[in-house]
Every structure is written in structure tokens, then in C-alpha cells.
Amino acid sequence: MTVEASTPAGERMTLNMGPHHPATHGVLRIVVESDGEVVARCTPDHGYLHRSIEKIGECVEWPMFVPYTDRIDYVCAMNANLAYCVAVERLLASDPATTVVVPRRAECIRVLVAELNRISSHLIAVGAMAMDVGAYTPFLHGIAQREAVNDIFEKLCGQRLTYNYVTIGGVAFDLHDGAVAEIAAFLDQFEREMQRFNRLVTTNTIFRDRCAGLAVVDAAQAIAWGLVGPNLRGSGVDFDLRRDESYGIYGELDVRVPKGEAFAGRHGRQGDAYDRYVVRLLEIQESVRLCRAVLQLLPPAADKPADPLGGHQAEVSKILRKVPKGAVHVRTEAPRGEMGYWIVSDGGKVPFRVRCRTGSFTAAGMFQHVMRGIFLADVVAVIGSFDVVVPEIDR
């Protein structure tokens, strides 16, 4: 469903969208050159939220960088914490003397919070996408469920958004009393709520037909442009780092990977905006299943207050004064796809280089390619379907 622009370049209209625009998911600026209603060229402009987080990584000590990872992607801060901590642990493991073993209970809690946060992140994604095509109510449904996850996290670590909960070597606190029952109750309630959400949005003909066949990305393109996570799977590539390059205890769990199959029916094509949307919904279901599975695996807490999580935090902070020299690249599956940390250590207590590759960055890189030939009104729908979060692009 693309139309070629026919007006010569000099006579086109230039439309500036952002950096303040209600539908750009933050401070993203896109300069659209349009031929009537058709986008002839699209030039994204980034950096309005470039907070120099990678430079800060070279200035602060190893554990002090964890709060900054929260701010790389605040919609799924748990996953962002986890990505950095797993990478540092992998670097520490290059020397047997500094190897840190994460206690099993902490490993289970990590997966639990990461999957809960994936749910709440995808809720924003699907809600915002519905809002981008003109339906405001689904977003409020998403927010309402997100509040429930926030409540659980708040009891767990005292914060609603930027958790700083996953630490190098474990997690900051043990689960609070009654957390297991609370999470199980939330999951039951949430599944019913999602059925309502699907009736309202997913099976809605207007929404489905609007997104069907929009901004189609085939598998080869998705790989070449570096799409990751749900955007990659939406194009039909069967790849998930939790299953194919597992970290933590994901290897023990049976992670099922949904992929795009032209869900929109007659007008749909594999890898269109609707596929990316549906893959996110299927991943929410999968996360609910993983949360339940991990609650089964959760070993009982050791006697309080001695050391519910192994009690090796003091030892870990000693190890982190002298991290072995070397480089490591670890990728983890965040809700917006691969979050890959390339970390270089010069053997000191401060990282030499912390590089964070995020899913939104490459998705934004693809805008100039996929926006060409679509209608102006679809620009925001396409942004929504890729679920870009601006601090992830800019960092």
C-alpha cells in the first residue's frame, strides 16, 4: 500500500513534526516532505534527549551506573537494569577469581520482574499505538493495568518507574511478604482484562484495517536494517534471545516465540504494522505464562533476616573495585528488542567504555526507509507500530 510521489522535488510541501508533538512518543522530530497526502521523503532528527549516558558510564563506578540504565529505557527499567548487570557479571566471569554467582532465588526474581515489566511496557506500546491511530480509550485501559504492576514494584523496591532494583550479583531486596500471592492474583485478573482489551481493540475492524498492510517490512529487510525484538519477529523471523542465547534461568523455561503471520487477514501482509502489534500482544500472554512458571520455580527464602539472597553483596562490591581487564558483549531481550552492552574494562573500578545498543535506535534508523510512499496520516501509526522510546534512541 505505497504510492510513489510524482511531484518534482521543488514543489513539495515540507512538514515539520516535533520535537513537541503529542504523537511522537517523546521528543522525536521528523521532517516530512510530502507530495499532497503522500510522504515523499522523511528525515528524522534525533538528539533532543541525548543525556550523554554513555559518557557518564565512563565517569562513575561500576555499580553506580545501574540507576542510569533505568533512564535509558524508563518504560521497562527492570529489563534495562538486568541487561547491564548480566553484562558486567559476564565480564567478571572471565576471571575465576572475580566470578560472581547469582543466588538462585535472585535469578528467579530477576526473571519475574523482567517479565512483569515487559507486560507493563507492552501495555504502553499497544495502548499508545491505538492512541496514535485515533482511539484514546485503549490507552487508559493500558495505563490502568500498568498501575497494578507499578504497585507491585513499588512494594518491592519503593519506586514506580526507575527501580534500580537488579544489582550486579543479584537483586536489591527480597520479595516482600505476600508478593507471590499478589502477583498470582494480578496475573489472573490481568488475563481477563486483556480479553476485554482484545475485544475492544485487536478485533476491531477499523483498527485492524487501518494497520493492515501498513509499512510492510520483510524478513530480509528487517535483518539488514538491524530491527530486533518484536519488530523483527513481526516480520516473521523466529528469533528470541531469551531462547536462542539464554541468560539467567531463561534456559530452564520453555520460552515460546510468537512471530508475524499476516494476522490482519485479507488485506494484511507479513511484517505490517498490525503484525508488530499482535506480536506484542502475544508476547504479553507469553510473559504471563513465564511469570506463572517462575513462581513455581521460586525456591523458598532463606531464614530472615540472615541472607535471603545469598548475602554476598559486600563481597561483590569488593570485587567491583577491580574488574578484570577485557571486553564483553552481551545481548539481552528487552521489550523493545535486543539491548546489547559492549563493555570495556581497563582493570579499574570505573568502566573504560559502556556502550548500550538499543532496539529503538535501529528502528528509528529505518523510518526514512519505511515512511516513503505512505500517507501522511499514517506516519504516527508507523512510529507507534515500531514502539520507539526516545531516550533509547538518544541515550
Partner 1 sequence: MTRREGPGDAFDDRIHLTAVDEFLAWGKEHSLFYLLFATACCGIELMQAGGPRYDVDRLGMIPRATPRQADLMIVAGTITHKMASRVRTLWEQMGEPRWVVSMGSCANSGGPFSKWSYSVLNGIDKYVPVDVYVPGCPPRPEALIDGVMALRERVRRYRTLGERSTEPHVVAGHEAPFGARCQLPPPDAPAGDGGRA
Partner 2 sequence: MTALSHEQIAAAVRSVCPEVGDQRASNGRPFLHVPAAAVADVARCLRDDPALRFDALMDLTAVDLLQFPYTPPRDDIAVVYLLFSYAHRHKITLEVFAPRQACAVPSVAAVWPAAIYFEREVFDLFGVTFTGHPQLRRILMPDDWQGHPLRKDYLYPADYHGVPHLRDGQSFSTSPPRAEGTS
Quick one: which of 320, 357, 379, 383 contacts partner 2 (CB under 8 A)?
A: 357
Cell for 215? 509499512
From the centroid of its chain, how far is CA 120? 10
Task: Write out the binding residues for partner 1, residues 109-148 only, by CB under 8 A.
Answer: 124, 140, 143-144, 146-147
Task: Write out the binding residues for partner 1, residues 150-209 only, by CB under 8 A.
Answer: 150, 160-162
Rounded least distance, CB 327 to partner 2, Å: 6
Stretch that binds partner 2, among 98-106, 133-141, 201-209, 354-362 (CB under 8 A): 354-362
Rounded least distance, CB 194 to partner 1, Å: 16
Distance between CA atoms of residues 354 and 339, nearest Å: 12
Quick one: which of 331, 336, 385, 392 contacts partner 2 (CB under 8 A)?
A: 331
Rounded least distance, CB 41 to partner 2, Å: 12
| Entry field: residues in the chain | 395
| By CB under 8 A, residue 47 contacts partner 2 | yes
Number of helices (H) and strands (E), helices first, in the chain? 16, 8
Quick one: which of 31, 33, 41, 67 contacts partner 1 (CB under 8 A)?
A: 67
Distance between CA atoms of residues 149 and 126, nearest Å: 16
| By CB under 8 A, residue 22 contacts partner 1 | yes
Rounded least distance, CB 347 to partner 2, Å: 7
Quick one: which of 20, 50, 176, 196 contacts partner 2 (CB under 8 A)?
A: 50
34 DSSP β-pair partners = 13, 39
30 DSSP β-pair partners = 17, 44
# residues near partner 1 by CB under 8 A: 33
Give the E-state strand segments of 216-360 in sequence order. Answer: 326-334, 337-345, 353-357
Count CB-CB contacts under 10 A for residue 37: 11
The answer to whether the CB of 274 falls within 8 A of the CB of 314 is: no
DSSP class of residue 375? B
Task: Write out the binding residues for partner 2, residues 78-137 only, by CB under 8 A.
Answer: 90-91, 94
Among 179, 40, 36, which Cα is nearest to 108's? Answer: 179
- Per CB under 8 A, residues contacting partner 2 are 46-47, 50, 52, 54-55, 58-59, 90-91, 94, 220, 223-226, 237, 239, 244, 325-329, 331, 338, 340, 342, 344, 346-347, 352-353, 355, 357, 361-362, 364-365, 369, 394
